[in-house]
Structure 1
């Protein structure tokens, strides 16, 4: 019995929060990097958001399915342009990811995954501790990592501070959080430039694909 034959072992970080190291194989990593480049092309490409208190996010992102901005979703971009559609591939992948993390697929009547945020971390980019609380559905959040490794800080639903656990996420890793940890604070205090995965086609930086079920499908007009 080897990892190569039977796949990576999931690691429970907190109740409902599971890390699956090396989940994506080389072909899938290359394919997702290629697709991220397509999704990032304009119009409606990568952008940095300004936070309500005036600060600018260091991470660049593009939304698929619905446009996310701090802290809300909309069916169109700020200029009225349509949001790029949510790829069915990511919905199928998210369901498989949940099954890999939890050992069981989501129920058939679970809210569909309908939104993805593609985040790009250049050297020095970080993400502060926050909750993913803009969704009506409580389906687990699915997070996939490509390129440079990062320190992923995972806390509790009660506070941005301690206690928290720092997890190193590498290219191809999966992290799923739901249930008691669905509203846990989490962030990326640093990436590790130069630790990337040249085989996936990303020379530098980190890509993170976060897939979510908003519970808003069919209720908010075009693009949802």
Structure 2
């Protein structure tokens, strides 16, 4: 009989590691530890968001910040996208850290609902820092990063986006949005793009009046922020 099962995760090319509990007979599994591999051994990363966003380029197209929940901890991360005309008969789609099927779905939504001609383009999506994210809460940031690269217009350094995108282009509610917004506030972001249906849930957050909240109903509304 096993009391505890722990996974020690991390890309071999990245310096950080995640210790994740998947079974714990005596406590919660909704906790993770983030560590950095250094010469003297593992050292705890007390602020993973700051660590993962370190070195982010300024005024660059194709990059948008989002927030993922790892266990009970909100972590900010950078979504990078590169979209360019294909030199092959069939466009190439590659992903590092994000679900490729989800990316293809989001690109189809952008083409159908916004008229972005992505069918003849190669597309590459990367979660900076080697993180692997599967939750749909980063859909909106991925869609905005792809559109930003295609249009070659920066989304903004101090903008963060979160929300699930449906096949009709609607931006749907996500879980634990209060914790995500609080983390964005702590990291000094100035504009937060969220699902409109979630706007009521964050009104009581301390300091929310000092930041610009942009509730959006559809991915088209979110991409309009880039096109301004």
Give your verdict on TM over 0.5. no
TM range (shorter): under 0.3
After TM superposition, the score normalised by the length of structure 2 is 0.27
Larger RCO: 1 or 2 (CA < 8 Å, sep 6+): 1
